[in-house]
Amino acid sequence: MVVETTEEDIPEHDLADFADMVHELSRVLNLGNADNSLFNIFWHPDDPELMGFNRNRLIFLNLAHYTKKRRSNFMLPVQSPNMYHP
């Protein structure tokens, strides 16, 4: 079964956060430049376990994977009010 998505389905806030993180990673590792980026972001919510893939020396990263993992329990911040105070 193929589910079609539109631009309206893409979580824009998550996309902005993820793009910033990927851009910073590219900058820190000195990969690509403004005209030729090594990293490309795509949206494939039908398979959020697909983290990404490499094609022709380009890295494609699935925003749906980032969104799912970011919302998973192990990525949520601790909600304890006494976290830093005994």
Q: What's the pLDDT tens digit per position in 36-74? A: 678 999 999 999 999 999 998 889 999 999 999 877 644
Which among 16, 5, 80, 82 has a CA at the least distance from the CA of 48?
A: 5
Domains held by the chain: number:
1
Give a yes or no: residue 2 inside a domain: no
Give a yes or no: residue 78 inside a domain: no
pLDDT value for 71: 72
3 compared with 44, residue with greater pLDDT? 44
Give a yes or no: residue 5 inside a domain: no
Give a yes or no: residue 1 inside a domain: no
21 compared with 82, residue with greater pLDDT? 21
Give a yes or no: residue 65 inside a domain: yes
Residue 19, exposed/middle/buried by CB under 10 A (0-12, 13-18, 19+)?
Answer: middle
Domain hosting residue 30, numbered range: 11-73
**Model-level pTM greater than 0.75?**
no
Instruction: Give the span between the Cα atoms of 52 and 61, in whole angstroms.
Output: 4
Give a yes or no: residue 3 inside a domain: no
Give a yes or no: residue 62 inside a domain: yes
Instruction: Give the span between the Cα atoms of 58 and 67, in whole angstroms.
Output: 21
Give a yes or no: residue 85 inside a domain: no
Maximum separation of any 2 CA atoms in the chain, in Å: 53
